[in-house]
Structure 1
Amino acid sequence: MAAIAGYQQNAGAVSQPRALITETISETELVTLAGNTRPEATAANDRGPLADSFPLEHLWLQLRRSPEREQALERYIDQLSDRNSPNFHHWLTAKQFGERYGLAQEDLAAITGWLGSHGFTVNLVYPSRVLIDFSGTAGQVREAFHTEIHNLEAKGEQHIANMSDPRIPAALAPAVVGVVSLNNFMPRPMNKPRGNYTAGDGYYLVVPADLATIYNLNPLFAAGYSGQGQTIVVVEDSDVYSTSDWSTFRTKLGLASAYPDGSLTQVHPKPGTGGTCKDPGHNGDDAEAAIDVEWASATAPNAAIELASCADTTTNFGGFIALQNILSNGGPVPAIVSISYGDSEPSLGAAANSYINGLYQDAVTAGVSVFVSAGDQGAASTDYDASNATHGITVSGFTSTPYNVSVGGTDFGDTYAGTNSTYWSSTNGATDGSALSYIPEIPWNDSCASELIADYVGYSQTYGLSGFCNSSTGDAFLTTVAGSGGPSGCASGTASKSGVVSGSCKGYPKPSWQSGLIGNPSDSVRDIPDVSLFAANGVWSHYYVVCYSDRSNGGISCSGAPGTWAGFGGTSVSSPIMAGIQSLVNQYSGGNQGYPNSTYYSLAKTEYGASGSSSCNSMLGNAVGSSCIFYDVTEGDMDVPCKGIDCYDDPSGTYGVLSTSSSAYEPAYGTNAGWDFPTGIGTVNAYNLVKAFGGSPTSVDAKLEIS
């Protein structure tokens, strides 16, 4: 991967951190690390304890920096994107990051000594000095952390997990958040294969040429901005099934001949001494790997696409191992990373949420822009692959931190409006594209709770005994599949009801850059998504084409026309596409831009003002204003069906709609002017975003002048 410019060579004098562990470590004075038991760890799912000898290799212990150092880090990250600050774009190396914001050496020595006293092997203290890699057995975990790890059966799958919150000596508590994971519930890839739907007739599938037309990439490509010199890293726990799928995708869809500099490499980032990264080969997540490398390349076709993968350990996600190693091994770091996986905040638990937040902090101080899928479960992240929501409103902890760009999902509104012929040619072009212009967008929602689907098939409401969700027609749409959005609710604290935002759960505080934008609520917490792009899987006759030939996992041969290939949707597609757009921003600006959200929101505040922009309303379609940076999606919702107290309906057992309040029963969530939970700021005009983002344009800037 290419190195990025702008590292601060002289970080200045760094004060020594104060020691946090000041008491004698006593095994009789314990504290509970609350909020670190999976919701699936119940008596009903329990299938007995693991053998004491069961190996648990490369566990991670997440540490806690002092409050003053945490505040200093947050200030520094804000300054990195402030053009008026002397720290603007002064990125830190891994060593500098640890020296400035890590724990004191005596704290690290006390913690590693304690681990060693219980028989654990300390493999690595990461340069950040807030993460320790260690190995042991289930018996050693039981003895040191006072929790048993059991076999579970949940949703027909075999798992392991701790059955109670860990406990540690009270003396360690000021410096220890907890074990990142004592279970093997891995995150889910945020993709959804094309389904069989009845909401529309025929299909208008999306290929790279369509993407370039709809989101106005073509003027950038024509001016020479197609990703040259840029590297986009997608992190995975699987390799692609075949690199020839990526080549076929590019060749048959016209990318290889027009943009010959594009490349794909697969790497397994070297860990520090004692760390881990094993080549995972290809596995059940190889569809996600194919989606990410192909659609990142479709957006920045001359860029270097790098798939960084590591095998999952028993308890840790291989994609995070890959990113952790990239940031920690002392080599060059990428400017842009995309992550297409997720799990809900309350399911992840306090330690895992803290780890993810810290990982992204590490990334942004190094100058990395992190893009993460918002999710594919509406506002019901805990209720993945379910027919209805039962856990209330939750969002993915992979995407809810203040340090990543959360990328949501839309669908096209032409089928609902009956205007397919306005926006799609009846014949495909030389590269199979048929989109004619920008197309009106609506939130991606496959469920019977969608007011647009209900209206299309003749129902005036979605909930209640006479509603669409409780009809025989609506049975086919009983699902939580929809583009995700919602407030952060359980990034810290402990849920009193498993998997539900409850008890002492708290969301991430609202970042300053998110406040003050029309539509964004005064809820004091981080809200997602930030931006959105098309992510549907066919409910309104549109989906993404993917060359994915692993037949053992649902793939299909790519020997025929693209219309016969596999089809997918999901915010796992919109994330690498948005990452690709940012790579064009970086190319135009002459360098990496680090964390871009503050700029996105600043531009949106200017465009939308106090009442929204009538000329940038997505419903205008091909009549939308030519200067719009963002397209404001204002029709539709991301509601999903539910049962229980969090439903917009009398909770009597009928299917209702997930609500924002169990007392007010307000549906969650519809679109409105400006920011909204279904789509965030909205979708993007890539050309205008690149022009407006700022920086020092390169020598071909004149080619981008608006005529």
Structure 2
Amino acid sequence: MKTEHVMIALSIAAAFATLPSITKASSSNPALAGIDTTEASRVTQAVNNNVVSALSHTHLSLLANATPAGRVDDALPMNHMQLILQRSASRESALQALITAQHDPSSSKFHQWLTPEEFGTTFGVTDADIAAVKSWLISQGFTVNGVYPNKLQIDFSGTAGLVRQAFRTQENRYVVNHVTHIANANDISVPSALRDVVVGVAGLNDFRPQPLHVAPQVAQFDRNKSNFKIKQPSNSTAGTPGHSAVNFTGGVRGFVPYDMQTIYNVTSLYTSGVTGTGITIAVVEDVDMYTPDWANFVSQFGLGSYGGTFTQFQPQLTPSTGNCTDPGGNSPGGESIETVLDSEYSTAIAPGANIWVATCADSDSTNFFGGVFTAADNLINNSDPTGRPNVISASYGYGEGFTDAASKAAIDLMWAQGDAEGISVFISSGDSGSNPSFNGSIINGVGIDANSFATSPNDTAVGGTDTADVLDGTTNKYFNSTLNAVYGSAKSYVPEITWNQSCGNTQAASKLVHTSALQFCKNALIYDPYGYYVTSESGSGGPSSIDAKPSWQRIVRGAAKDQSRDLPDVSLFGGSYGGYSWVILCTGFYPCTANFTSPVELVAGTSLSSPMFAGIQALIDQGLYNAGLPKNQGNAAPTLYELARSEYGGPTGKTPPTLAGCNSDNGTSGTGKCVFYNITAGGNSTQCIQVAAFAQTTPDCYFYGTIQNFQQFYGPTLVGLTATSTSKYNATTAAFAAQPGWSFANGLGSVNANNLLKAWKSFVGAP
């Protein structure tokens, strides 16, 4: 063994001795003018496998108290893992300064975007350090499939046995919610000589977040009432069913593209020729869709004249690492409802845009977020500019508390790279209130959290709203009683509240039973003694425990006085109390037919909100391009917050009249010039439980009662509402209430797309 160690050390030392010890970035790109990130290699010693350092948080915390169901066989293939590298502090500082300048209209670097190669050379790890890490991986028996252009990710493959020997961690099997997974049992270790340049390994577990939509429902149109009768849950395997505290027996409402276009005022942009033409929106997925669905959707809802295009493909690197294969699903019975939803409702808002459905199989795992991460990562690292989209939408999520450090680091560096390249990224904030990890179930065992896929400061998180007309009794004011030629009924903007399907919905409590949400929930115990209607289904928001608050998130009234990147940034329609309002999909199993003579699928969730906002961004991009400016805008959030400050005011100082004037509650009254609709009604405090049989506590939950035998199976269970206090529950402690300005419930609120484009043009100095 000593001889083997000496040979390894000598081979690695020889590898980086043949390379320059200093890497200097040079480019003619104006964005890099004056930026000098020259630095020496940080791997300065021969790699000694007997001198190692543990990398903290490199295994899943959710398995901390789990008992393994057995060891994984050493021969198990583990393909396309990624070694995530860490740039130096000086390069990190230089990158953040550049991104800030790229979003500052007064800077010479404004909208001067990078290529993946420029990003890697300037802000990645030096070639010498990459060579040292690669040599060590090869010496351990791994196959190195390639280094990403960003010089921060090394794709490699091996076996569970090689992982155990090289990283000193055992791959075990764990049974969670009756499903068997594999994961590393403890934090990994690497040779101390590599410690400064290695974050960890992504791809050591096969847990996967869920798409962020409510379980689809199959419904039949009732021509006499112009509404739908739900027949049965969809046969889709994507998402899990949840219960609503109230079910509407007289039928439900199915929104169509026309309704969303009218509510958020995008139709006026169409009349000026702004439809998203020339802009590419990529929705990133881990299962295909049945491709005829999109054409069926476009035809059914009269979108064909706008000239949008559709492509489904697997994005590859050049040269290819082989880490993105077709996941399958291009059939009526195998498609993903999530993929259908994302593609159809980005088109619903931007019908002239080019829609890319970029899919990679989860089995080619490189990250906790699987094929969704790979698809986005490969697009952002495409060396061909025609292979990079203008906008990306991702509708998947899981809490930071359930994501390993390497995967989280990889996500954040990916979105930072996308931002520096000018790509606008939109992510769903989540569908389970103050913790996004419980879509279709109930928060338990953990407290407040935020979607780890969205908490980077380089993306825009989109939360969920509900239209207020049903609870307000104003439906006739905002919707026609009969449908038009494209099956729409919306007349105008509709007041909005926070989407919340639990008894924690303050608006439902007030309007339906004239009481507080807390009392509403207590009353529910009488009529639901086994807790079958306890739910956490709601638009999500919360503070990051990892990413720091960006400066642009501090500048608007209502901004949380914390040090965290907070979610969401904005919101659009996501769902409704009682499951009354949905959007209509055209799917393979249930294609849309003229006059809805056959059943359709209805769906909701922040998986709807994100692709719709991506569509709005495509309209903004085309509108700016028509004015002679670059198409790409990078992360939308910094500009959105600047525009919101003009409307809502800053965190201190005099309150502008537009804060009240642009309140969503006003509907169309006096809001004609508003960019944002400030949503101040409702909140996303939802139900949470603590099951005695689980022997675990649930923090951030105010318990108001006990269910003696939860769902007639789990035994005594405490039930409560998510809160920042466990001793009292009110508007101040509820997690979280809507409020004037920014809020954890709905961020800056929703938007008037036409006014947003006007304000954006003014901000960037467009003619």
Please say whether Structure 1 and Structure 2 have the same fold, judged by a TM-score greater than 0.5.
Answer: yes
Return the alpha-carbon distance in structure 2 between the equivalents of residues 252 and 7 of structure 1.
Answer: 49
* Residue of structure 2 aligned with 1:135, choices 157, 173, 177: 157
Structure whose alpha-carbon radius of gyration is higher: 2
Partner of 1:495: none
What SS does the aligned partner of 1:655 have?
Answer: strand
**What is the one-letter code of the residue matched to 2:570?**
V
In the alignment, structure 1 residue 8 sits paired with structure 2 residue 29: yes
**What is the one-letter code of the residue matched to 1:483?**
G
Partner of 2:269: 220
Partner of 1:647: 701
* Residue of structure 2 aligned with 1:484, choices 525, 540, 549: 540
**What is the one-letter code of the residue matched to 1:245?**
D
* Residue of structure 1 aligned with 2:734, choices 643, 648, 667: 667
* Identical residues among aligned pairs (%): 37
Return the alpha-carbon distance in structure 2 between the equivalents of residues 59 and 687 of structure 1.
Answer: 44
Return the alpha-carbon distance in structure 2 between the equivalents of residues 559 and 427 of structure 1.
Answer: 18
Partner of 2:592: 558
* Residue of structure 1 aligned with 2:136, choices 104, 114, 130: 114
Return the alpha-carbon distance in structure 2 between the equivalents of residues 291 and 467 of structure 1.
Answer: 36
Q: Please give the residue correspondences for 1:533-612 in structure 2 after superposition, counting only pairs within 5 Å.
A: 533-536=572-575, 539=578, 541-550=580-589, 556-559=590-593, 561-562=595-596, 564-590=599-625, 591-609=631-649, 610-611=654-655
Q: Please give the residue correspondences for 1:491-510 in structure 2 after superposition, counting only pairs within 5 Å.
A: 491=546, 508-510=547-549
In the alignment, structure 1 residue 321 sits paired with structure 2 residue 379: no
Contact 1:388 1:478 (C-alpha < 8 Å) held by counterparts: no
In the alignment, structure 1 residue 236 sits paired with structure 2 residue 276: no
Comparing 633-642 and 193-202, the one that deviates more: 193-202
Q: Which ranges in structure 1 are unaligned for 5 or more consecutive residues?
A: 1-5, 492-507, 551-555, 702-707
Partner of 1:349: 404
- Partner deviation per Cα, 1:103-143 (whole Å, 9 max, x = no partner): 11111111111111110111111111111100000000000
Q: Please give the residue correspondences for 1:287-326 in structure 2 after superposition, counting only pairs within 5 Å.
A: 287-312=337-362, 313-316=364-367, 317-326=370-379
Q: CA, structure 1 residues 356+469, in 2 after alignment: closer, same or farther (shift >3 Å)?
A: farther
Partner of 1:436: 491
In the alignment, structure 1 residue 383 sits paired with structure 2 residue 429: no
In the alignment, structure 1 residue 623 sits paired with structure 2 residue 645: no
Contact 2:467 2:576 (C-alpha < 8 Å) held by counterparts: no
* Residue of structure 2 aligned with 1:62, choices 84, 87, 99: 84
Contact 1:416 1:540 (C-alpha < 8 Å) held by counterparts: no
Return the alpha-carbon distance in structure 2 between the equivalents of residues 595 and 425 of structure 1.
Answer: 37
Return the alpha-carbon distance in structure 1 between the equivalents of residues 375 and 153 of structure 2.
Answer: 15
Q: Please give the residue correspondences for 1:101-500 in structure 2 after superposition, counting only pairs within 5 Å.
A: 101-194=123-216, 198=246, 200=248, 201-240=250-289, 242-256=290-304, 258-259=305-306, 261-275=307-321, 276-282=323-329, 286-312=336-362, 313-316=364-367, 317-332=370-385, 333-458=388-513, 460-463=515-518, 467-468=522-523, 470-473=525-528, 475-489=531-545, 491=546
Return the alpha-carbon distance in structure 2 between the equivalents of residues 604 and 405 of structure 1.
Answer: 14
Return the alpha-carbon distance in structure 2 between the equivalents of residues 73 and 44 of structure 1.
Answer: 40
Return the alpha-carbon distance in structure 1 between the equivalents of residues 164 and 472 of structure 2.
Answer: 60
Partner of 1:656: 720
- Partner deviation per Cα, 1:570-615 (whole Å, 9 max, x = no partner): 1111111101111111111112212221111011011012536222
Shift of 1:14: 4.7
Return the alpha-carbon distance in structure 2 between the equivalents of residues 388 and 509 of structure 1.
Answer: 25
Shift of 1:472: 2.4
Aligned length: 670
Q: CA, structure 1 residues 44+91, in 2 after alignment: closer, same or farther (shift >3 Å)?
A: closer
Q: CA RMSD in A?
A: 2.4
Return the alpha-carbon distance in structure 2 between the equivalents of residues 156 and 647 of structure 1.
Answer: 26
Return the alpha-carbon distance in structure 2 between the equivalents of residues 585 and 210 of structure 1.
Answer: 20
* Residue of structure 1 aligned with 2:47, choices 8, 25, 31: 25
Partner of 1:498: none
Contact 2:508 2:577 (C-alpha < 8 Å) held by counterparts: no
- Partner deviation per Cα, 1:178-197 (whole Å, 9 max, x = no partner): 01231011221111135675
Return the alpha-carbon distance in structure 2 between the equivalents of residues 404 and 679 of structure 1.
Answer: 16
Q: TM-score, normalised by structure 1?
A: 0.90
Q: TM-score, normalised by structure 2?
A: 0.83
- Partner deviation per Cα, 1:26-76 (whole Å, 9 max, x = no partner): 222222211122244356452211110000011011100111110110111
**What is the one-letter code of the residue matched to 1:542?**
S
- Partner deviation per Cα, 1:620-653 (whole Å, 9 max, x = no partner): 1232410000000111111111234422246875
Comparing 41-50 and 231-240, the one that deviates more: 41-50
In the alignment, structure 1 residue 686 sits paired with structure 2 residue 732: no
Shift of 1:473: 4.3
Q: CA, structure 1 residues 459+184, in 2 after alignment: closer, same or farther (shift >3 Å)?
A: farther
Q: CA, structure 1 residues 465+645, in 2 after alignment: closer, same or farther (shift >3 Å)?
A: farther
Contact 2:502 2:577 (C-alpha < 8 Å) held by counterparts: no
- Partner deviation per Cα, 1:501-522 (whole Å, 9 max, x = no partner): xxxxxxx111111103111111
Partner of 1:503: none
Structure that is richer in strand per residue? 2
Shift of 1:23: 3.0
